[in-house]
Amino acid sequence: MDKSKMFILWFDQLNNDDVPYVGGKNASLGEMYVNLTSKGIKVPNGFALTAYAYRYFLEKAGIKEQIKQILSDLNTHDIQNLSERGQKVRDTILRAEFPQELKNAILSAYRDLCGAYKRDRSDVDVAVRSSATAEDLPDASFAGQQETYLNIRGDFQVLEAVKKCIASLFTNRAISYRVDKGFDHFNIALSVGVQKMVRSDKACSGVMFSIDTESGFKDVVFITGSWGLGENIVQGAVNPDEYYVFKPTLKQGYKPVISKKIGTKELKMVYSFEGNKPTKNIVVPESERNKFVLNDEEILTLARWACIIEDHYSWKAGHFKPMDMEWAKDGETGELYIVQARPETVVSRKNRNILENYVLKQKGTIIVKGKSVGERIGSGEANIIKDVHDIGKFKKGQVLVTEMTDPDWEPIMKIASAIVTNRGGRTCHAAIISRELGIPCIVGTIDGTEKIKTGQQITVSCSEGDIGNVYDGILPYEIKKIDLQNMPRTKTKIMMNCGNPEEVFDLSFIPNDGVGLAREEFIIMSYIKAHPLALLHYNEQPPEIKKQIDEVSLGYDDKVKFFVDKLAQGIGMIAAAFYPKDVILRFSDFKTNEYANLIGGKAYEPKEDNPMIGWRGASRYYSEGYKEGFALECQAVLKVRNEYGLTNLKVMIPFCRTVEEGRRVLAEMEKHGLRKGENGLQVYVMCEIPSNVILSDQFSEIFDGFSIGSNDLTQLTLGLDRDSEIVAHIYDERNEAVKRLLKKVIADAKQYHRKIGICGQAPSDYPEFAQFLVECGIDSISLNPDTVIKTTLKIKETEDRLGIQ
C-alpha cells in the first residue's frame, strides 16, 4: 500500500484493495462513493482515518498495555464492574496525545476538505463517524456501537471528535457486545470517517432499508424520515414518517409508493452555535409536524437508490444482500444524499422454511399501545427506568419500560423479556436491537412510562399486526411452529382472505396461490374513517365533522385525494405482498348502518329495518345516492393498477342481485377508467344470492368468474338472519340445500368456462366442507390465514383419493 495512504484514504480515491485498511461501514461508504456516484447517487465526499492509524495511535501513545490491564478483571455481567472499567479505558484514550505525524495527517486532510468546498480553510462543517469491522458482520448488527459527531468545525474540534470516536470503541455496550460475540478487543479494526455535512438541519433526514424490517419481505424499500438531522430517528427521540415502495414495479418504471404514514416528529435536531454543543433539539411547530417530510418524487428517488445499492452489494457478495442506509436532504440545495450504508443482518437471515406464530390464548385489558417490533410475545414484571444511570436496578426477565434507548442501555436490553418505549419508530435503536435479540418490543407508546407501573405484571404482544398491545397481567400464549418444506402442493388453488394491510407481508410467507378475497372495509374503517361523501362535500360539513376529518387526514388538504390515496395504498400493500399472484378485491360491502358509523356518515345513509338485505353492494354503485363515492373506489383501483403497476389486482362486485344490475355497475366502472379486459382487468361477481346460481349462465356472459360467498348464500337460501341468535342453530353452510346450489354453480361455471372459487367462512371452519368443494371441481378455495395449513392437508388427501393430479 502507498505510504501516503497509511493514515488517510479519501472516499473518492478508495478502491477495493484499500477496504481492509479502512474497515467497517466507512469502507462501504468510500467504496459506494466510487462505484455508485456514477449511477446518480449523491454521496458527500470525505476521508477515512484508517484502521492502521487507529492501531498506530494505541502503540505510539503507549496505552495499549494500560487498556489490557484495566480490562484484565472485566465482568460484563456485573454492570458496575463493566461501567467502571469502560470509563477508565475511555479516559485513558482521551488523555493520550496523538503522535505528531498522525495529527498532521488528519489536519492536512481536513484542510484539503475545507478547500474543496471553498470555505475558510479551518471551519468547514463535517460529520465524524466511527466504524469497527465487528459492527456489521453477517451475524452481528448492533446499531450505534461507536459514536458519530455532527457539525464539527475547526482543527481542535476535528481532533477531539476523532479521539472520541476511537474512545467509543470501548463504550460499555461495545465492550459487552464483543464479549458476547467472542471478539478479541484488540483484533477489531476501527476507522474514523470525516465527511462534509449535509445541511439536513434545514430540511430532513432518515433511515432506509431495502427490505421490510419486521417481516423480512424482500420486495419493498422501507423509508423513515423526520425534520432535521438524522440522529433523532436513530436514537428513537421522534416518531418519524414511514413510507413503503414496491421494488419490482419500481424497476419497471412505475411509481409504487404503496404506503405513507405521517409521524408526530415533535423534535428537530439543528446546528447549535452556543457553547460547546454542536447540535441541539428544538420543538417542531404543529404545522410542520402535520406535513410529510418527503414528496412522492423524493420517496421514489431514495427507493431507486436503495435498489441500486442493494443490487451492487448483492452482486459483490454473490448473493442477496439487503441494505440498511441513512439518507439526508440538504436544505440549502434541495438535494438528497446517502450518508451511510451497511448490510441488514437480522430479518434477512431468518429461516423462512419454519413458520413461527405466537398466539395469545386470551385477551385482557390493554394498558397502552404502540408500534410493534417483531411478532413475538413476552411477559414479566415491569421496571420503569427513565435514566441510563439507573440500569443497575434492572433484573433479568423484567420488562424494560423507558422513554427511549440508546446503545448505553444494551447491557440490560439483552436480559429483558420485552421492551416498551414512549418514543421512537421502527428503525430506532430500541427496534433494531430488539430484533437482533429476538425480544418483543413496542415503540412510540407516547405515555407508557406513565400508564405502566413499576412492579406491575404485564404482557407485551407484537403478534397482532402493526399495533403492539401491552396488556395488564400475565396472559397465556402458545408458539406454533410449522416446517413449510413438508407442505404438499395441491391442484386446487389455495388462496387467502385478507383485509388488514399491516399483516400481509407476514402472511405472504404462508404457502398460497394469492388472495381470493381482499376486503376494502378494513382499510376504510381503519385508515380513512370518514364517509366518502363527507370527504367529497367537505366544505358543506358542520364544524365538528370538519374537525374530525382534519384529524384523520393529516398531511392532506385535498380530502378526496386523501380517500383515494389511502384506499389505493391499503389495496396496494395487499397486491404487492402477493405479486404477481392474483389478488381479488371486493368493492366496499358496508351495510347502511355501518356506513353511517363513519365520520359524517349519518347525513348520507337511510335508516333501514334490515340493512343485511337492503341498500348494499352493487345497488349502491350506480345509485344517485352513492355513485360519486363509488367513483373514488374506482379511482383507487385505477391508481393501484396504472400508477403502482400492480396489474395482478382483479376486482369483484358483491351482492349483485340481477344481471341488469351487473351491467349498470360495469358501465359505472368504465366511466372511471376501469374497462373489463383492458390491461388484463378481470371482473368477478360474488355468488351469494340464489339468483346468482339460478342465472349463472347469464351472469357468465358479463363477468369473468364467480366467488362464492357462503355466508350470505346460506342466509338467503335458508331464509334466516345470520346475525340473529334466536335462529342461529339453523344456520349451517353444510345444509343440503346450500350444497346443492354450490354443486350446481360450480358445474355451470365449468360449462361456461368461467373461473369459480369460494371466499366464504365455511371452508375455514369445516375442513370436510372444503373436501366437498374439491369433489365438486372448484378452482380455488380462499381461507382465513390461520386455517391454510390444516385445510391444505385435508384438500391434498381428497385430491389423492380422487386421483386429481
CA distance 431 to 442: 8
- Residue 729 is among the residues annotated as catalytic for this protein: no
C-beta neighbour count of 718 within 10 angstroms: 16
Contact predicate 640/568, CB 8 Å: yes
Identify the active-site residue in 165, 307, 634, 759: 759
CA distance 791 to 772: 12
- The DSSP element (H or E) to which 493 belongs, if any, is strand 493-498
Task: Encode 683-716: b = buried (16+ Cβ within 10 Å), e = exposed.
Answer: bbbbbbbebbbebbebbbebbbbbbbbbbbbbbb
- Residue 759 is among the residues annotated as catalytic for this protein: yes
Q: What is the DSSP string of 22-75?
A: H-HHHHHHHHHHHHHGGGT-----EEEE-HHHHHHHHHHTT-HHHHHHHTTT--
Q: How would you write 451-467 as a 3-class SS string?
A: HCCCCCEEEEECCCCCE
CA distance 519 to 651: 10
Lookup: cell for 536: 367529497
Q: What is the DSSP string of 666-708?
A: HHHHHHTT--TTGGG--EEEEE-SHHHHHTHHHHHHH-SEEEE
Contact predicate 784/766, CB 8 Å: no
Lookup: cell for 448: 407508557
Identify the active-site residue in 165, 429, 656, 687: 429
Mapping DSSP to helix (H, G, I), strand (E, B) and coil, where does residue 373 land?
Answer: strand
- The DSSP element (H or E) to which 205 belongs, if any, is strand 204-209
Task: Encode 142-162: b = buried (16+ Cβ within 10 Å), e = exposed.
Answer: bbbbbbbbbbbbbeebbbbbb
Residue 731 exposure: Cα atoms within 13 Å on the Cβ side:
18
Lookup: cell for 87: 470509563
Residue 469 exposure: Cα atoms within 13 Å on the Cβ side:
14
Lookup: cell for 677: 379486459
Q: How far is CA 80 from the centre of its chain?
A: 37
* Helix and strand counts by DSSP (H, E) for the chain: 31, 30
Contact predicate 663/274, CB 8 Å: no
Beta bridge partners of residue 52, listed in sequence order: none
Residue 683 exposure: Cα atoms within 13 Å on the Cβ side:
25
CA distance 259 to 464: 19
- In this structure, the strands spanning 377-384 and 457-461 are antiparallel
Cis peptide before 580 (omega within 30 of 0): yes
Beta bridge partners of residue 340, listed in sequence order: 326
Residue type, 326: E
Q: Closest by alpha carbon to 235, among 455, 409, 366?
A: 409
Contact predicate 144/340, CB 8 Å: no
Q: Closest by alpha carbon to 600, among 670, 668, 666, 524?
A: 524
CA distance 400 to 398: 6
Contact predicate 612/721, CB 8 Å: yes
| Residues forming the active site | 429, 759
